[in-house]
Structure formats: structure tokens, C-alpha cells
Structure 1
Amino acid sequence: MKKRISLSGFIMILIAIQLNVGCTSKKEKEKEYDYNFQDSSLEIDERVNDMISQMTLSEKVSQMRYDAPAIARLGIPEYNWWNECLHGVARAGEATVFPQAIGMGATFDKSLIFKVGTAISDEARAKHHRFSDQGKRGIYQGLTFWTPNINIFRDPRWGRGQETYGEDPYLTGRMGVNFIKGLQGDDPKYLKVVATAKHFAVHSGPEKSRHEDNYQTSNRDLKETYLPAFEAAIREANVQSVMCAYNRYRDEACCGSNLLLNDILRKEWGFDGYVVSDCWAINDFWKPNRHGLSETAVEASALAVDRGTDLNCGNAFDPNLEEAVLKEIIDEEKIDIALSRLMTARFKLGMFDPDKMVSWSKIPYDVVCSEEHYKLSEKTARESIVLLKNENKTLPLKKDIPSIAVIGPNANAKQVLLGNYHGTPHNSITPLKAIKEKLPNAKVHYAKGSDIAKGWPLLQTIPSSVLHNGKSSGLKGEYFDNKEWKGNPKITRNDSVINFVWMPKKPIDSLTSDAFSVRWTGQLIPKESGNYRIGLRASSAGKLYVNDSLKFEFSDDHEPKTRYFDTNLKKGIASRIKIEYYNYHADPQAQLLWAKLDDDLLSSAIEAAKKSEVVVLCLGLSPDIEGEEMPVVLEGFDKGDRSEISLPKTQIALMKEITALGKPVIVVLMNGSALAVNWANDHVPAILESWYPGEFGGRAIADVLFGDYNPAGRLPVTFYKSVEDLPDFKSYDMTNRTYKYFKGEPLYAFGHGLSYTNFTYSNLKVPETVTISENIPVIVQVTNSGDVNGDEVVQLYLSHSKAVNDGPKHSLVGFERINLDPNQTKEVRFTITSKQYASITSEGKEHINKEPIRIYVGGKQPNSKNEIEDSKATQVLTKEITLK
């Protein structure tokens, strides 16, 4: 007979089972986690605090450098914080290359920039997980990206202005916010990547003196110009990281500024992310002839952390912070605060959780360089192109022309597609290549025509026909699986030319890391006598020897740069060549280049033009001569900046010679900053501005030239007529700078851009009176009154009847890019907030006067000579609003 169990007994058994399960789970949990910070069910704050509590002081300090080492005993892997994605994932192998940031600014398309940010972060995530699966955790392989650059492009001479979205704080803020949101994603728990708003703050050149300069501004300029884009990035986009700048501001180094990092960033704006120094900026605190703020690296490191810099790109913090704590220069508690911000970011990225928990880890690698991203890059390039001039409807050109000349130093220069801080493209579609594709039945005559500037020729790969290695053409290549050319080479082969981008495979199949080295040897035997420039364009590090003499060496190059020397070579006379190259990161490249310095480039250009019905002149600048703190000193250029804003003289001479032939001429500009193309404006019927347009830039240019795309880009910067129009470069006072304060007549105004169709504005609706602090609704109708489909950039400006303290003439407060078919009308709505119509006082405070304000709506800025006339000719409608 079976024994029955009472109800109470049954309940007791259930309780016992539950308790036993609970005990088992607890035991299993204890076995699963050695430390509480490994438990993904805990809140991030709790996990971060537990992690830091396990660390020694030395370990804490080690995690505050950009190349943080592993802490093996805690199971914390190494992590390199340095990564770049200004207009595509950079320096990490093949990636989609979008137009440079200044070109993105010219699109005036907020939703497009969000899509670009999303595409870039897709590729970033896919690349990171691929690297991680391969055990790679080096530079450019992480998820913390030092972009976007939202400094204000206040002066066209600044070489890094190409990295920004232009000169206007509102435009910069809108583009920056959307780009950041695209990068960081919308997952409620995990960040897609970390974006970094840089360089905080009051930073825009000169490059050559940025490590020692001390800038001053009024409170009004600070609040009105230099801070709004950063405030928007923090308050609206919740950017997780901010990079402080090299220079001082009001006597404090930006990376040690109580005003910037504590009072404004954290206290006023509530920023809760981390601050990273610009690279080696902390060294400027104490090194001779720089800021002179500290006597030693120990004091400099303590000052930076005490004022709010959490992460050091450089070598100052480790081990100096440890010594600073031991000497009681700084409390260890400050180290803990900084480290908690850093580790919070890593936890938010899911770095200490299984990949299966992080939605972003599931992005497949085939998004990298996908067709979808290629189309987005090409679309962005098309939208960025600005039609500056189109006299007598010179453009678009007809596709049935029998012949065309494509001339100029930028017509077939791949580097000019890219700008700086770029990735490695799979495609490099130059204007020449694209025009040949567009016109398969036409004769396309090409000539360089001139150097990019006097003393700066366009270098090309040295052909195998002049390189010799015994009986073979080319150079002998010895490939080693280490960085020091040690031991016997793993591979020895003949390389016909030195023109390598080792993507995606490395040159040695058995490599498990990114480190390898190559030694090339042989002879260079020219077929013509003359003066030559010989260069080596490479990433990482290398040396070039000629006849056993070291001509140059370089190291720690984070993106490919060209080093060179000039020499005289004799026809048929051999020179011994030796190149020693080593690589240490994920984007290995090496090219051996040259150019003949005394070549007659003009004659062949004139012949090409004479044989053609139309001439396309591809002129402008190059990222090889405008950029970040460069060793370039040429006429009109100064260490990456410019001392003149006109086209280089070599190009002006070419343009005059070609135009004198009487052929129809179109000038296509490719550059990162405003150009005073005064002569072209007076003598050339059509001018396009295409910036550094990305890997599909040539195709976008050809689409516009031949009418397959109707241009609608707008200038994000003012094009001045002369450097004489500009104040002192080092002055950060906004007087007579940018469209908001410039008192002269620009060559082309901010917001300017033409179309192949016409747009008319009507039915502007705004309230006649508004109560102070209320928002102002604005409604306008826009009609495509022309014959072809096109985009229009509707721009909304505001001015005060009484300018406060020489405030702006008018300010951009809204814009929308819309597409309209012929005869189609769309209604566009804006909302102007009270913050936007407030004036900034001399104390830097927002204040609203009971004075009328005026708004302007149109496809461009209001005409200062006729700013209140409601005229179809100006296509700017205006209304006055009374504040009560």
C-alpha cells in the first residue's frame, strides 16, 4: 500500500526543491563569475565600481592611456581607444569612403548625414568584431571613434577646415547631431560606437602654432559662435566623448581648462561621458616653448586629470599619474572618477558581455563596402556639388559631343578624391575616368596641364621599365614576419612596381598579426635626364636610401603620407635604391613615386584643348598640401594652412592659356576650403565646386556636368575675394568673419548654389506678433517653376532690428532640402525657438528684447542691398514679427 503525502508535506517538499534550486543557481553563478563586474545582469555603475575596486593604482593609471594594456588577472583585455571615421572608417583596411566632411556640410541634408553615420557605424561594428575574432585589439580596431570635428571654420586659411561642416554654428550643430546619432545608434542598452565631438573648444588654427597659442574671445563670441555645436552634440545627440584641443583658451590649456571642462561641459550642460586629450596635447603643458603651465610631466598629468581630462592620447599619464598620487599632487579619488567614465563607455559598448547579448555584434561583415553603401557615398557626393556659376546655360553639356578635353592637376589624381582622415577605398573614380565612362563614343583628351602648385608636382608610380633587379624589371622584395627585418625573409620575390595596398590579404599568408616588414633593393635607371622628385608614400614607418645614402625616414604615420627628396638623374645612369618599410597597423600601404620637375606640362594641355570642342578644367587644392600640421612650405601655403586663398599661380596660368583658345571652358574645383577664384568668375562661363568628393566623386561630377543630376549643394562657407578681406589669422574675434559678421562683398556667399531649374516661393505665413519665449511657426510654399526635377535647399534666416553689441547681420535658424518635379509645389514648415531669436549680450547671456525681428525664407541668404523687398528676382521672402 502506497503511503500518502499530506498537502502540508507536499508543500514542504516543493519549498525544499525551490530552495535547492536557488542554492544550485547561486553556486553556479559563483562559479560563472570570478568578479561581480562580469555579471551582465547588474547595473553598469555597479559593475564599473566593482571593476575599479579590484585594481591597483598602477593598473588604474594604465587604463587611462589610449593604448590600454590587458590586466590578465582580472580578465580585462587590452584596448586601444584610438579610431577615426570622419567620412568613413579610416586606417583599418578597405572601407566605403564618403565625401570629406566639408562636402557633407554642403549637402544641407540632415537626414542624409544620419544615413551616412549609420552606414559608417555599420562598417565599424563589422570590422571591430572581425578584428576581435582574430585576436586583434590594436590601433584603429576598437569602437571609440574620434569624430566628428565640429569646430567652426572661421577662416578659410585653416588647413583642417575641410574636416568640419562649415562656418555656421547652426548648420554645424544640425549636421553634427545627425552624424553622431547615426554613429551611436538607438539601442536602449548598448552603444553602437562612441562618437567624439572635437576639438573642445575655440580651435581652428593656425596649425603651426597650435601647441603654444593662447586664444581670447568675448563672452558673446564664445556663446554665439564657438559653443553652440558642442552644446547641441551633448544635449541633443548625447555624444559620449569630447576631445579637448591643443591650444590654450583664456590662459588655460583646453585639456586643463576649469572653465571649459568643468563649468561649461559638466556643470552647465550636464555632460556625463569622458574627455580625451588631443594626441600628445598634455605634453604641451610642460615642454619648452609651449604652454609653460607645468614644470614636469607629473604635474601636467595631474593638472589635466584634476580639471577633467580622463583619457590621454599620448604617453603623459602612465606612469606619471601614479607618481602624482604618491606625491599627493592629486587624490586617487580623481583617478577613480576618470577611470569610471572610461569603463562606463566600454561597458555601454558591450565589451564585457557576450556578443550574443549585443545586437550590434550581429551586423554581418558584408556591409563593408556593400553596394548599398557605395550608392550612399555616390549620392552624398552628388548632393555636395555646388554650381557656383552657369552663364548662358553652359551646363549641362550634351553627351553627343565628339571630343572633350579633361585637363588639370586634379583631373586624374586619386588622392584628391579623399581629403584627410580617410579610409582605403576599393574604387577611385576620378573625373577623367568618369567622363570616359559617360562618353564611350567621344574622344577624351587628357593632360595634367600644370602642377598643383609651384614646387609641388603630381607624383606617379615609378614604372617597372626604369626599375631593375639583376636581369628583371622591378625591385627585389624581401618580406619578413616581424617589424625589424630580422632573420631570413619569409618570402623573396621580384616586385615589378612598388604600388601596394595590402587589402584584405597581407603579403605573408602565415601572418597572425599586422606587424611585418619589407626590404626592396635594386636600381633606378631613368630614360631621360633631368631634375626629379622621388617620393615614398606609405603608412606606418620606413626609410629610403639612394646610393647607400639615407634620404629620409619616418615613423608612426597613422595614415599614408608622402615623403620625398629632389635630385638630378642622368639618362641611363643607375642609382641604387633601397626601401625599408615596416607596418604595425591594419592598413598597410607603400608606393614608390616620382615626377620630372622640369617637364613642359602646358604644351600638351594646349594641344588637348585645341583638339576638343569643350574643355573641363579640374583645378583646386590637394590634401597633400592642406591639412593637419604638415611639413609643407610652398608659396601660398604654410605648414598645412594657407597664406593665400587664391588658386595657386600655376593653375591660374593654365586657366588663362586654355581660356584664351576660345573654347567653352568649365572649371571643376576640388578642394577642402574656400578659394578666391576671381579670374575664373570673370572669364569662365561655368564653375562647379565639388570638394574632396569621396571614392565616387568623379562619377558625381560627370553626372552634374552632363545633366544626369541637377546640382543643389550650397556653400557651407563664404568664398572671399582676397586674403586682404580677412582679419589676422590668430584673432578669434568674430568681427568681419563669416557671413554673419563680414562687412565686405563676398565672391560667393554662404548658402549660395545654383540649379538647372528655377524655384519660386510664395504664401509665407508667420504670426505678426509673438509673446516673448513662445516658438514662432513659419510656413512657406516652394514651387519648381522650371523644366526639370531638382532639389531646393530652403533656408531660413533671422535678424534683429537692433543688433546687440555688433551682433550678426542675420543668422541661419532653419533649412530643409526638398525634391520637386516640374510644376510641383511643397509646403515647408519651420519652428523658430525662443533660444534662436534671443540675442547674446556682451556678458554671454541670452536676452530677448521687445524689438521686432525679421525672418527671411529663400534659396539663399537675404540680399543685403534689398533685404526687405518681396521679390521673385531675389527669391527671398521676408516678414517682420513684433515681440510682446
Structure 2
Amino acid sequence: MLQTPPQKASLSAMRHCPHRSGLKISSPACPSRKRFPSWVTKRLPFLASGAGLQMVVGIPSRRLGSGKGIHYNDSIKRARAFLKSFSRRLPSTPCSGTALAIGTEARALYNAGQAEGLTFWAPNINIFRDPRWGRGQETPGEDPMVASKYAISFVRGLQGDSFDGKGRVELKVSACCKHFTAYDLDRWKGVDRYSFDAVVSLQDLEDTYQPPFKSCVEQGRVSGIMCSYNQINGVPNCANYNLLSETARRLWGFNGYITSDCDAVSIMYTNQKYAKTPEDAVAYSLKAGWHCSSENWRNSLPLSKSKVTSLGVIGPNANNAEILIGNYNGPPCNLKSPLQVLQSYVKDTRYISGCDTALCNTSHINEAVQLASSVDYVIMFMGLDQTVEREDFDREDLVLPGMQQSLVSSVARAAKRPVILVLLSGGAVDVSFAKDDEKIGGILWGGYPGQAGGLAIAEVIFGEHNPGGRLPVTWYPQQFTKVSMTDMRMRSVPSSDYPGRTYRFYTGEQDHLPQKEGKSLIPNRYTRGTNYDISILGKEDCDKLEFSAVVEVENHGPMDGKHTVLLFLRRRHYEDGWPRKQLIGFESVGLKAGGKAQVVFVLNACEHLLHIEKDGMKVVDDGSHFLVVGEEQVEFNVTS
């Protein structure tokens, strides 16, 4: 339970060593009982920001945060810029290789004297609850299990940990899971993250918001946690003893450091009015426990290099290389825009932006239409950028900005063949108009794919790589904007037309979705394995009750490729507050054209079959359950 700390202790009454004594606080002649409070009081403001703190008694100035954390010189000028979190595929250990590379590069830069520290404030594992959130691009998506697996792999990889046995005694670098917890609003219709009080039920807290952080601590063995700006049920997260000490430290066994987000301590006084003085804000924090997808509807993909004699590239994101790396990045190596890459694929490639920026307040539709009608194929690069979604700036709409939709429709009507629409964005965009347009042959969502994103997109479009397309977030219709972004409830409320959030609970309109789970360029067929071993569960300890589910996957398409098998749990009777379905396993498999593979999921009753009650308690339900993969499902019963 999240509650107000038991006591509000003030440090403002600390006595200083009298100035008239002429003694400095570092002087032994000043009694320690007076010297120490004076020293602490002078340094309290610097617990949250090291700026301006000069060297004292031979100790160098401390700098808490430095943004990119790297300064470049002639020897090392660039760093690798990987794709954003949600753009990554889902192997059994998502992002571990990427994190290993980041940690190794960071340590190398530090050894070369170009890094300002080895403490990294990553990963961001908040749940992408609402598509309008400007920072959703930093997260692994909306599913708690995916976010949990991502957190474990990223943290272990970054810190140089192994994936078996005990953790490292010495870290390669230090990771920090953020933002703890239920943080997913920055600035929306006059409500900002500094003053937002997130009203969260115990059920949603345990079921949705906390699992990634629990996994980050218990299985990822993270060395740091960052508490977030917002309040939960009236208590600032960075002052919440139950959250930081009782939950993270006692229940989960966290023994690392806890830091606040930038100014999250000072806003307890300035914005939230929770603390009466700045010193009180620091006191509360110290007492709380911290230290300083792809779509292929109409067989338009892939294109053939030999058959594309002329190519039209249109859109505000086509020749914008910076958009590929999203926010929070260093200067990358060899950054090329999608246009630059496509020009190397097709000699006769012609380009027009159509809009000056992603805002698309002014457009050049006539010129774009003329270009589209003169070439064999057209690829459009539309979507969002950092002027539309970013930290401290959430969206108010889900449609394409400005005149983008008009540009897409006009170009599609003029083109000789169905156009390929590539969307670059962090949050989901309502593109139902494109889904229903027969002149749009395919939609590829690329997220913010990193410095090699232009090449990756080209390889997908021209069939050199077959992605296992999976959407990490739900794509809502524009009417979802009627739902207040400040409403933290995950579950639907039919009596008030509240539709719920994420694929687990959303009950609203879904016909507009490109496809809820995404799709690869190869068709896959699932069949139920013959050796399901699902036992009826008795009264014994459910931790010991495991069973296997075997799925056979067949690639009956013409291309080799990778495919992520998603295993869901569904209950026969959907009662109030239960997820409509819940992801309980995923595995990436490589399949040759015409090939088959078996995927084995080992499931545990306590971990995979439970749900969260309204009081936050975890329960394994009796009755009929289904394991679901694609359109296939198998039923089994649970008895206690």
C-alpha cells in the first residue's frame, strides 16, 4: 500500500555555528554538534543538483547529471546510436546484445577519458499507457511482461552481468531503472508531470505499473532506481517510504542507490506544496529511502530492385536523418536518411518533401502529386518527430499532424501503383484512412529505428530482410483522445463508457487497427503440439507446478525470416477486472521458406496463471483457461 510517510521531519531548525565566533564549519574548534548540522544545511541543495558546488576540504565537485555524459575530442568523435526501445524485436533476451555493446563502449570511452561517469540513467521501463505520451518512444511498450523481460536483459547486458548464476561483484557500468513508478504523463492540456497526482488502484499498481521494476530489481539485479516526478495517491514518489523502502528495498531486496529525477525533490516544495520548506523536501526523500509493426495487406511488399526502374520518395521524414535516432542520443556514426539509402538502391530516385516538417502546416501537394504520377513506385515517409512528441511535451491528437493525411491521400490517388507508407513515430497514430484506401499497398511502422534505420527500412521494403513485425502498443482511434490522459485506470468501466487501456483491457473501437499484433512479410501457420502436459493443479505449493506448451510454427511463404511466437492466456469467463487476454510467453524463431520449428514454453502456475484482485492480492483462478497462439487455442482446467 502506498501511504504518507509516518512523520514529516524538518531540517530547517538546524543550528549553525554562530558567525560571530569567527569559526568556519570545517574548523575543529567549532563543536561537532553545531558544525555538522551547519555543513549539512549548506549542502542540502546540492543533493539534487551538483551545479555550482565547489571543491570543499579537498573533495572534487560532484555533478549529478550531465545529459549525454560524454565529451568528444579528436580521438573519439562518435558513438553508436541504436534503435529506440520499442523498435526492437522480441528474442528470449530482448536487447541484451545491444546493452552489452553500449556498456562496453561506455567503459571504453571512460577509460579514454571522454566519459563523465559510469552511472547510466537507463533503461526507461515505464508502461506506455497512453499513445499521446511524448516519452513513450523511450519505453519497451505497453505490456508488463515485455517491459519486465526487456528490463532484465538490458540491465544485465549494460552492467556486464551474466544471464546465469550470481551477479557480478564489479560492474562494467551502473544501470538505473526509471521512472519509479506510474509515470507516463509529461505535459498535457495544462497538467504537467511536476504537479500530477496519479490516482492508482492497488490492482493496477500490482498488475501493470510495478512488474517491470520488480523484475529489474529481483532478476535484473539493477544497481540504481530513479523515482519519478509524479505523486501517487497524494504522496510524491520520491518521498514515499512505502514505495522506496518497504517495497523496493525490503520486499524486492534492492540494495543499490535511489536517485530522484531532476528537480523531483525541489518540486515537493515549489509545485506540489507537499513540503513546507525545501529542507523538508530533502528530509522526506532521505527518510523514504533514496541516495544521492509491419503490414502487408495487398501483397505490395517486398519490392524488387530489378523491377523498380524509377522511385518517388515523398514525405517530411524521408530526408531527415536526425529523426531516426529519436531523443536522448549522442552524435552517431555514418547517419544516413532513408532517402540517401534508397538512392543507392534505385538509380532513378526522385524526391520531394511534400511538407517542410512533420508539423506539415504548409504542404506542396501539387508538386508531390506530379512526382507520384511520373514514377513506377512511390514510398512515403510520414509520421511524427521531436517537435510533436518529446519529454515535457505530450500530444493532444492521434492523427497525423497538419496536412499529412491530405498529402498521403492525394499522392496515393495519383500514383500508378499502390504506395508504400512508412511511419516514423514514437506513439501510435490513427491511420484508419490509409488502412481502408486500396491505393495504399502497405504500411510499415519503423518507430525511431536508430542510425542504421534508413538501411533497415530499405532492406525490408526490398525483401533483403524479413522482420517479425509485432506492435508493442495498441493503436487507438482518434476518439480515444476523449479519454483524459490523467485517468490512470487500466480496466474498462462499461457503465461510464470508459474503454480501458492497452490490449489487455481495452474494449473500444478496434476496426481501425492495422493489426493488433503486427505482421511479418511471411505468412505463418500454427498447429498445436502433440505433447501438451497440462496437469490439474492441486493444493500443493503452486511454485512447484510447471507444465509445457508446445507450438509448431510453419513458414508457408516464399521468404526466409524470423518470427516471434506470442503465447497468450485467456479465461473462458471474463469477469470484472480480469484481462481480456494476457501475454505469458514469447520466443523468436528463424524459419526457412517452407520450414517448420517447435517452440516450447515452460509455464509456472504462480507466475503465469494468476491475476490481481482489487485489493492487490495475487490469485490463481479455478476453472477453464485457454492458451492462445494466433488463431489456435487449447483449453485446460485449474482446480484448487
TM-score band, normalised by shorter chain: 0.7 to 0.9
Q: Which residue is equivalent to 1:443?
A: 348
1:198 matched to 2:178: yes
Q: Which has the larger radius of gyration?
A: 1
Structure 1 residue identity aligned to 2:132: R
* Partner of residue 514, structure 1: none
Specify the alignment match of 1:306 in structure 2: 287
Match of 1:184 in 2: 159
Task: Give the distance between the partners of 1:111 and 1:243, measured in 2 at CA.
Answer: 23
CA distance in 2, matches of 1:646, 1:399: 36
Match of 2:338 among 431, 435, 450: 431
CA–CA distance in structure 2, aligned partners of residues 881 and 91 of structure 1: 59
Secondary structure of 1:388's aligned partner: coil
For residues 381 and 348 of structure 2, the distance between their equivalents in structure 1, rounded to whole angstroms, comes to 18
Question: What secondary structure, in the 3-state scheme, does the structure 1 residue paired with 2:266 have?
Answer: helix
Amino acid in structure 2 at the alignment position of 1:390 = W
| CA contact 1:243–1:275 (8 Å) conserved in 2 | yes
Check whether the contact 2:312–2:349 (CA below 8 A) recurs between aligned residues.
Answer: yes
Which residue in 2 is equivalent to 1:271? 254
- What is the CA–CA distance in structure 1 between the aligned matches of 2:352 and 2:145, rounded to whole Å? 42
1:98 counterpart = 2:82? yes
Give 1:822 deviation, angstroms. Answer: 2.0
Cα distance between partner residues in 2 of 1:237 and 1:152: 17
**Is the Cα–Cα contact under 8 Å of residues 97 and 694 in structure 1 kept in the other structure?**
yes
1:153 maps to which residue? 128
Residue 827 of structure 1: aligned partner: 598
Give the AA of the match of 2:302.
Answer: L
Whether 2:420 is the aligned partner of 1:666: answer yes
One-letter amino acid of the structure 2 residue matched with residue 199 of structure 1: H
Q: CA deviation at 1:64?
A: 3.9
Higher strand share: 1
Take 1:422 and 1:296, find their aligned partners in 2: how far apart are those partners? Answer: 36
**SS of aligned partner of 2:451:** coil
CA–CA distance in structure 2, aligned partners of residues 847 and 117 of structure 1: 35
SS of structure 2 residue aligned to 1:656: helix
Separation in 2, partners of 1:789, 1:122? 32
Identity of aligned residues (%): 31
Shift of 1:607: 2.3
CA distance in 2, matches of 1:78, 1:300: 23
State the AA in 1 paired with 2:381. C
Shift of residue 663, structure 1, vs aligned partner? 2.2
SS of residue in 2 equivalent to 1:603: helix
> Residue deviations 1:214-258, cap 9 Å, x none?
111211111000000000000001111111111110110011112
- Which of 810, 832, 838 in structure 1 is aligned with 2:610? 838
Equivalent-residue separation in structure 1 for 2:599 and 2:71 (angstroms):
41
Q: Is the 1:452–1:651 Cα contact (8 Å) retained in structure 2?
A: no
Match of 2:380 in 1: 617
TM alignment of 1:497-516, pairs within 5 A: none
Question: TM-score, normalized by length of structure 1?
Answer: 0.62
User: Is 1:115 the equivalent of 2:97?
Assistant: yes
Length, aligned pairs only: 572
Given candidates 678, 687, 711, the residue that maps to 2:443 is 687
Deviation at 1:779, TM superposition (A): 1.5
Q: Deviations over 1:714-738 (max 9, x none)?
A: 1000112223376321100002100
Does structure 1 retain, via aligned residues, the 8 Å contact 2:44–2:282? no
Q: Is structure 2 residue 484 aligned with structure 1 residue 728?
A: yes
Q: Which amino acid aligns with 1:212?
A: S
The 8 Å contact of residues 48 and 265 in structure 2, kept in 1 or not, is answered as no
Q: Does 1:790 align with 2:561?
A: yes
- Deviation of 1:59 after TM superposition, in Å, equals 9.4
Q: TM-score scaled to structure 2, two decimals?
A: 0.84
Aligned with 2:183: secondary structure? Answer: coil
Please report how far the alpha carbon of residue 149 of structure 1 lies from its aligned counterpart in structure 2 after TM superposition.
Answer: 0.6
SS in 2 for 1:818: strand
Q: Greater CA deviation, 821-830 or 214-223?
A: 821-830
Aligned twin of 2:329: 422
Q: CA distance change for structure 1 residues 156 and 193 in 2, over 3 Å: closer, same or farther?
A: same
1:716-773: CA deviations, max 9, x gaps?
A: 0011222337632110000210000011242145422232343443425433433251
Asked if the contact 1:725/1:744 (under 8 Å) is kept, the reply is: no
- The 2-side partners of 1:435 and 1:301 are apart by 54
Matched residues in 1 for 2:482 and 2:466: separation?
Answer: 33
Residue of structure 2 equivalent to 1:381: none
For the residue of structure 1 that corresponds to 2:554, the secondary structure is: strand
User: Structure 1's 454 and 690: CA in aligned 2 closer, same or farther, altered over 3 A?
Assistant: closer
Task: Report the Cα distance in structure 2 between the residues aligned to 1:605 and 1:91, rounded to whole angstroms.
Answer: 42
User: What code does the residue aligned with 1:680 have?
Assistant: A
Maintained 8 Å contact 2:609/2:621 = no
Instruction: Give deviations 1:182-207, integer Å, cap 9, x for gaps.
Output: 11113733111111111100110042
2:578 aligned residue: 807
C-alpha RMSD of the superposition: 2.4
1:806-839 deviation digits (Å, cap 9, x = unpaired): 2101100100111011232222111222222112
Amino acid paired to 2:503: Y
CA distance in structure 2 between the partners assigned to 1:112 and 1:301 by the alignment: 37
Shift of the 454–115 alpha-carbon distance from structure 1 to 2, 3 Å rule, reads: closer
Structure-2 separation of matches of 1:726 and 1:389: 31
Relative to structure 1, is the Cα distance of residues 175 and 91 closer, same or farther in structure 2, using a 3 angstrom cutoff?
farther
CA separation of 1:437 and 1:881: change in aligned 2, threshold 3 A:
farther
Q: Is 1:628 the counterpart of 2:386 in the alignment? A: no
SS at match of 2:599: strand
1:711–1:791: 8 Å Cα contact kept in structure 2? yes
Taking a change above 3 Å as real, the CA distance of residues 849 and 650 of structure 1, as seen in their structure-2 partners, is same
Shift in CA distance, 436/294, structure 1 to aligned 2, threshold 3 Å:
same
1:137-176 to structure 2, matched below 5 A, reads 141-176=116-151
Q: Which one is further off, 411-420 or 830-839?
A: 830-839
| Secondary structure at the counterpart of residue 417 of structure 1 | helix
Aligned mates of 2:527, 2:430 — CA distance in 1: 31
**Paired residue secondary structure (2:207):** helix
1:676 matched residue in structure 2 = 430
- Indicate conservation of the 8 Å contact 2:186/2:391, yes or no: no
Report deviation, 1:857: 2.2
Q: Take 2:91 and 2:228, find their aligned partners in 1: how far apart are those partners?
A: 28
- Residues 526-565 of structure 1 correspond to what in structure 2 (within 5 A)? none
State the one-letter code of the partner of 2:185.
Answer: G
Equivalences for 1:353-502 in 2 at 5 Å?
Answer: 386-439=293-346, 442-454=347-359
Match of 2:226 in 1: 243
In the alignment, the residues of structure 1 paired with residue 625 and residue 299 of structure 2 have an alpha-carbon distance, to the nearest angstrom, of 38
Matches of 1:306 and 1:675 in 2, distance apart? Answer: 43
Asked whether the equivalents of residues 150 and 197 of structure 1 are also in contact (C-alpha less than 8 Å), the reply is: yes
Compared with structure 1, are the counterparts of its residues 394 and 71 closer, same or farther at alpha carbon in structure 2 (3 Å cutoff)? closer
Among 214, 220, 236, the residue aligned to 1:231: 214
Check 1:880–1:174 CA distance in 2 against 1; reply closer, same or farther (3 A cut): same
Shift of the alpha carbon at 1:77? 4.5
> Deviation digits for residues 790-814 of structure 1, max 9, x if unmatched?
1111011112334454210110010
Task: Rate the CA distance shift 1:306–1:112 in 2: closer, same or farther, 3 A.
Answer: closer
Distance 1:83 1:110 in 2: 33
